[in-house]
């Protein structure tokens, strides 16, 4: 187990533009920490700086409380799994797994034993004499994992290790990696662009965009309380529905005629002018007869078996998605009356997209048209 601490870490490749901007984060020992964000936001860069493959422009990196900025990769006592697995094509699975162990002064006999052990753990025992090109994608992935595990380094870094696998295998490996990490008590820093992986695997996650930390927290906290519109639309599938709204008297008006009341306290926080209003798809339901609701036109319906995604036109240029449990019989083109659970409304400032309030909107009157 290993504690990793980043203090004001900044990276610039060209000396002009900062790819990472003053990152502060602490990864606790034994934690499964996921770094998630869209492609090009700097995830790999951050991971590679922790690994020592990339120099740190400014700030401090501490491993177990000790400054590690200038340590070489091998001095940091960590293992790493690469997106393309980085298996040596000319070596067998066994040789791949034990390659480099001699540097750590592991005797030949122990190398064999350790290799056998991890191969059993990962179901590779039958493939130890094969070359990487004679393996399937999933098996290669396991060899890469085995190579990381066999070093017994307390910190493991993974850079999009599952992105070359098909969806089904990916789901399986997610759970395997998680179990392995728990069993070995590894501190894990895991990079992915896939929010599902982040949500399902992380103890805590960090959402990165354009080199800036957007939010750090446990998956559910992030999901329920996104810090800004970026996180709101990045985490969750389908993402949170967003629309611009305006304060008029004591009601929020979206797109001219959709309204919702707010409390005085909220009103004060919002101030006057514009906000962005957000609601998760699962908080939009078909209005019961007694409930106030609004009429919308259905644009598309995706029935997934256990749930149904309904896309409908909301306002002039916006489409929202609602997620309902079960199999709905709603048809495209149909007019339906929907109801938004306003206890789960999220409000963001219009300029910066930052979350304004987290407390629920009062239950006085439902949103109505």
Partner 1 sequence: MTTIQHELADRHVERKRAWSNWATGMLFLLPSLLLFGVFLFYPMVRTVYLSLFLTDSQGVPIVFVGWENFLNLFQSTSFQISAKATALFVLYTVPAGIVLATALAILANQKLRGIGLFRTMFSATMGMSVAASSVIWMFLFNPSIGLFNRILAALNIPGVQWLLDPQYALLSVSIATIWMNTGFAFLILLGGLQNIDQSLYESARIAGVSESYKLRKITLPMLSPTLFFVTTVSLINAFQTFGQIDLLTKGGPMESTNVIVYSIYKDAFINYNVGSASAQAVLLFVAVLVVTVLQFKIGERKVHYQ
Partner 2 sequence: MTLTVSGLVMVFPILYAFLISFMQGGEVLQGSLWPETFSLANFVSAFDRVPLLTYLWNSLMVSVLIMAGQLVLCSLAAFAFVFVEFKGREWIFYLFISTMMIPWEATMVPNFQTVQSLGWLNSYAGLTIPFFAMAFGTFLLRQQFKTIPKELYEASQIAGISKLRFFTGVVLPVVKTTMTTLAIYSFLTAWNMYLWPLLVTNNEANRTVQIGLKQMQTQEIASDWGVVMAGVVMVILPTLILLFAGQKRLQEGLTQGALK
Ligand X SMILES: Nc1ncnc2c1ncn2[C@@H]1O[C@H](COP(=O)(O)OP(=O)(O)O)[C@@H](O)[C@H]1O
Interface residues toward ligand X, by CB under 6 A: 13, 19, 37, 39-45
Using the minimum distance from each CB to partner 2, give the nearer residue, 122 or 339: 122
CA dihedral 162, 87, 117, 177 (to 10 degrees): -10
Among residues 252, 218, 208, 223, which one has the least CA distance to residue 367?
Answer: 252
Using the minimum distance from each CB to partner 2, give the nearer residue, 75 or 313: 75
**Residue owning tokens 């799994």:** 81
Using the minimum distance from each CB to partner 1, give the nearer residue, 68 or 106: 68
Q: Is there a contact between 335 and 296 (Cβ–Cβ < 8 Å)?
A: yes
Q: How far is the CB of 160 from Mg ion (least distance, A)?
A: 6
88 near partner 2 (CB under 8 A)? yes
Q: How far is the CB of 206 from partner 1 (least distance, A)?
A: 24
Using the minimum distance from each CB to partner 1, give the nearer residue, 67 or 257: 67
> Which partner in partner 1, Mg ion, partner 2, none is near 286 (CB below 5 to 8 A by kind)?
none
Contact pattern from residue 3 through residue 42 relative to partner 2, giving x for each residue in contact according to CB under 8 A and a dash for the rest: ----------------------------------------
45 near Mg ion (CB under 5 A)? no
Size of the residue set binding Mg ion (CB under 5 A): 1
Q: How far is the CB of 105 from partner 2 (least distance, A)?
A: 10
Among residues 58, 23, 26, 62, which one has the least CA distance to residue 42?
Answer: 23
Q: How far is the CB of 176 from ligand X (least distance, A)?
A: 23
Residue 274 CA to residue 248 CA, distance in Å, equals 10
72 near partner 2 (CB under 8 A)? yes
> Which partner in partner 1, partner 2, Mg ion, none is near 44 (CB below 5 to 8 A by kind)?
Mg ion
Question: Parallel, antiparallel, or unpaired for β 335-340 and 318-325?
Answer: unpaired
DSSP letters of 248-291? ETTEEEETTTEEEE--HHHHHHH-SSEEEEEE-GGGEEEPPTTS
* Cα dist from 324 to 150, 198, 305, whole Å: 45, 23, 11
Using the minimum distance from each CB to partner 1, give the nearer residue, 67 or 108: 67
């Amino acid at each position: 187990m290993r504690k990793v601490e980043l203090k004001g870490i900044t990276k610039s490749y060209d000396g002009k533009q900062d790819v990472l901007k003053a990152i502060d984060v602490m990864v606790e020992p034994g934690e499964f920490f996921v770094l998630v964000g869209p492609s090009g936001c700097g995830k790999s860069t951050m991971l590679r700086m922790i690994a020592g493959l990339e120099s740190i422009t400014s700030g401090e990196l501490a491993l177990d409380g000790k400054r590690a900025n200038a340590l070489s990769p091998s001095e940091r006592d960590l293992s790493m799994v690469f997106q393309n697995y980085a298996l040596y094509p000319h070596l067998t699975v066994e040789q791949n797994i034990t390659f480099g162990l001699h540097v750590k002064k592991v005797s030949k006999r122990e190398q064999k034993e350790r290799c056998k052990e991890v191969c059993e753990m990962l179901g590779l025992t039958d493939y130890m004499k094969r070359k990487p090109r004679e393996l399937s994608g999933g098996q290669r992935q396991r060899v890469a994992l085995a190579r990381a595990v066999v070093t017994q380094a307390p910190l493991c870094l993974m850079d999009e290790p599952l992105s070359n696998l098909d969806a089904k295998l990916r789901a399986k490996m997610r759970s395997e990696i998680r179990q392995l990490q728990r069993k070995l008590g590894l501190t894990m820093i895991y990079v992915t662009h896939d929010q599902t992986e982040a949500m399902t695997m992380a103890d805590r996650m960090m959402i990165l965009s354009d080199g800036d930390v957007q939010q750090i927290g446990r998956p559910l906290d992030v999901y329920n309380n996104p810090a800004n519109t970026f996180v709101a639309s990045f985490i969750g599938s389908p993402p949170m529905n967003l629309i611009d709204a305006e304060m008029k008297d004591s009601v929020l008006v979206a797109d001219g005629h959709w309204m919702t009341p707010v409390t005085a306290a909220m009103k004060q926080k919002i101030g006057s002018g514009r906000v962005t209003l957000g609601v998760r798809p699962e908080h939009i339901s078909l209005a019961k007869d007694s409930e106030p609701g609004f009429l919308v036109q259905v644009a598309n319906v995706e029935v997934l078996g256990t749930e149904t995604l309904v896309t409908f036109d909301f306002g002039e240029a916006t489409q929202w998605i609602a997620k309902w449990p079960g199999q709905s019989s709603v048809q495209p083109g149909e007019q339906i009356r929907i109801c938004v659970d306003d206890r789960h409304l999220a409000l963001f400032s219009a300029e910066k997209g930052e979350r304004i309030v987290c407390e629920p909107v009062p239950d006085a009157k439902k949103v109505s048209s």
